[in-house]
């Protein structure tokens, strides 16, 4: 600490921190992309009650939901190189970003798979039966009929999770990634004005969250434009 | 930086997992569980009261105050918790020192344990999340219940405490459980200001023995077990609390 609090410094730090917002957003986007596909892979065996695979998926989801993301980050950082060594892949010298994206992909996959499961479960069973009656195959019925309806139901929950993950990415600095938070840490060491840096970071995260919330609210309205409500029916 | 380099070296050299060491350090790390529980539970209790007050302020739209309460809830829910810890850790001592200077309290901020700042930060965070949960709980109780309470002559605090709260608790119990689990996991951020809770302890055990993976696996198992226990207890409580409210005919 030592130095006097100087509010003007917050303004001075903002552009320096903002320069690293793309890194933070890249971590988020990449993790959501990989996490989304992985989530589908995890949800499918549970939806179709595939023996063994569905139990494995359940344990995986329970573990991820039962442990702090900071621990997951350390587990991947120290464990993934050892695990991939079994397949003669050496990733121990890979960029820390790799481990961070791997962690958040694995983590978001578990949460999204639960969202997908709940959403698919809430699609009227008659929709699937109607699809079969119209001659669609199981795969077609799932992809064309059930999934689009489930997506609308899942959207608000998924949007909340995305905002949660954005905030979680602030932990990436603990394995040495230079995202917004990492840049903040270097500013703290360079200037010793920790409080101003952290307040600046809080302002940026808050603004990004507000923008995301507004964007998701618009997207939700657009997604639901086909939904008929009792009032308009 | 030196520590990070030694960690990287450790990662590249040793590629086997020492299962027996996981068991050994499991019990060593478990000794830090009481501190983790303190950091988890106390903020939730303080946060419940902050949340209840801010929820009522927002529901009754108390002039000016409700805008402040809205901002408090939205700002703390919109920023990473690790920043709350860091900001309070740096800001609160400054604030206390300044106040103490002005009013001559003679408090030496260096003598305040860091744990106090951690608990303060998490309490503020918990208050914001609690506020939303309590608000949704109150809104879920039928308006007629409140009117009936007034009709039999209860005052507003009585009606809220005796009629609305018991029903709202049943509705918000799953959310409270999720918040408990969330805060159990969030308590790991206390590690960033060098608290010896489960993660801090795991990190020490790991650094001393140079076995990082094993220590973090042991810590993960503890958190996982705690989470499952919390879920079981909630399921049991939910059955009890909502017993009056069962639908059906049996």
- B-chain CB neighbours of A78 within 8 Å are 11, 212-213, 216
- Is the Cβ pair A93, B192 closer than 8 Å? no
What is the pLDDT, as a whole number, of residue B249? 59
What is the pLDDT, as a whole number, of residue B35? 94
What is the pLDDT, as a whole number, of residue B2? 46
Q: Read off the pLDDT of residues A16-33 as tens digits, 9 standing for 90 and up.
A: 999 999 999 999 999 999
Which H or E run includes B109? none
Which H or E run includes B229? helix B212-241
What tokens were used for A196?
């101003």
Its sign, for the CA torsion B199, B202, B207, B208, is: positive
> Which value does ipTM take for this structure?
0.86
What is the pLDDT, as a whole number, of residue A26? 96
Whole-model pTM?
0.87
Q: How far is B162 from chain A (nearest CA, A)?
A: 33
Whether the CB of A81 is below 8 Å from some CB of chain B: the reply is: yes
Q: Residue A18 half-sphere exposure, CB side, CA atoms within 13 Å?
A: 11
Q: How far is B94 from chain A (nearest CA, A)?
A: 8
Angle at A10 between CA B119 and CA A104, to 5 degrees: 60
What is the pLDDT, as a whole number, of residue A165? 94
Whether the CB of A174 is below 8 Å from some CB of chain B: the reply is: yes
Interface of A with B in 176-205 (CB under 8 A): 176, 181, 194-195, 198-199, 201-202, 205
Q: What is the mean pLDDT of residues B232-249?
A: 77
What is the pLDDT, as a whole number, of residue B129? 95
**Per-residue model confidence as pLDDT tens for chain A (233 residues):** 456 788 889 999 999 999 999 999 999 999 999 999 999 999 999 988 999 999 999 999 999 999 999 999 999 998 888 888 888 788 777 889 999 999 999 999 999 999 999 999 888 889 999 999 999 998 999 889 998 888 888 999 999 999 999 999 999 999 989 999 999 999 999 988 999 999 999 999 999 999 999 999 999 888 888 776 555 44
Q: Read off the pLDDT of residues B129-183 as tens digits, 9 standing for 90 and up.
A: 999 999 999 898 888 998 999 999 999 899 988 998 888 888 888 899 999 999 9
Q: Read off the pLDDT of residues B9-57 as tens digits, 9 standing for 90 and up.
A: 555 555 577 888 888 889 999 999 999 999 999 999 999 999 999 999 9
Q: How far is A79 from chain B (nearest CA, A)?
A: 6
- Is the Cβ pair A202, B4 closer than 8 Å? no
Which SS3 state, helix, strand or coil, does residue A145 take?
Answer: helix
What tokens were used for A50?
């595939």
């Amino acid at each position: 600490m030592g130095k006097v609090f100087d509010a003007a410094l917050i303004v001075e730090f903002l552009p320096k921190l903002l320069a690293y917002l793309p890194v933070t957003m890249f971590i988020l986007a990449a993790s959501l992309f990989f996490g989304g596909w992985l989530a589908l892979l995890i949800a499918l065996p549970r939806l179709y009650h595939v023996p063994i695979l569905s139990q494995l998926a359940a344990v995986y989801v329970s573990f991820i939901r039962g442990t702090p993301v900071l621990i997951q980050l350390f587990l991947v950082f120290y464990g993934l190189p050892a695990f991939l060594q079994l397949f003669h892949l050496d990733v121990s010298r890979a960029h820390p970003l790799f481990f961070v994206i791997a962690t958040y992909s694995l983590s978001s996959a578990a949460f999204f798979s639960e969202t997908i499961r709940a959403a698919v479960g809430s699609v009227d069973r008659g929709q699937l039966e109607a699809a079969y009656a119209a001659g669609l195959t199981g795969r077609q019925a799932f992809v064309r009929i059930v999934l689009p309806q489930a997506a609308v139901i899942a959207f608000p929950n998924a949007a909340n999770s995305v905002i949660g993950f954005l905030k979680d990415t602030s932990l990436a600095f603990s394995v040495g990634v230079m995202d917004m938070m990492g840049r903040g840490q270097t500013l703290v060491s360079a200037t010793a004005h920790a409080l101003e840096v952290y307040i600046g970071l809080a302002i940026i995260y808050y603004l990004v969250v507000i923008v995301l919330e507004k964007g998701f609210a618009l997207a939700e309205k657009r997604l639901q434009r086909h939904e008929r409500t009792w009032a308009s029916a | 930086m030196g520590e990070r380099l030694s960690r990287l070296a450790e990662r590249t050299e040793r590629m086997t997992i020492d299962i027996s060491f996981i068991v050994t350090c499991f019990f060593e790390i478990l000794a830090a569980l009481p501190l983790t529980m303190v950091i988890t539970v106390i903020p939730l209790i303080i946060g419940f009261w902050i949340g209840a007050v801010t929820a009522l302020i927002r529901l009754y739209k108390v002039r000016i105050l409700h805008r402040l309460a809205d901002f408090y809830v939205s700002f703390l829910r919109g920023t990473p918790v690790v920043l709350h810890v860091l900001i309070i850790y740096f800001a609160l001592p400054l604030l206390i020192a300044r106040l103490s200077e002005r009013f001559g309290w003679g408090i030496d901020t260096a003598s305040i344990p860091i744990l106090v700042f951690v608990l303060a930060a998490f309490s503020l965070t918990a208050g914001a999340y609690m506020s939303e949960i309590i608000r949704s709980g109150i809104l879920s109780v039928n308006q007629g219940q409140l009117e009936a309470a007034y009709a039999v002559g209860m005052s507003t605090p009585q009606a809220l405490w005796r009629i609305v709260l018991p029903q709202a608790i049943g509705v918000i119990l799953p959310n409270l459980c999720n918040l408990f689990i969330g805060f159990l996991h969030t308590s790991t951020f206390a590690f960033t200001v060098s608290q010896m809770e489960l993660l801090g302890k795991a990190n020490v055990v790991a650094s001393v023995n140079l076995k990082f993976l094993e220590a973090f696996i042991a810590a993960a198992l503890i958190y996982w077990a705690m989470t499952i226990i919390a879920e079981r207890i909630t399921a049991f409580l939910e059955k009890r609390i909502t017993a009056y409210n069962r639908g059906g005919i049996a």
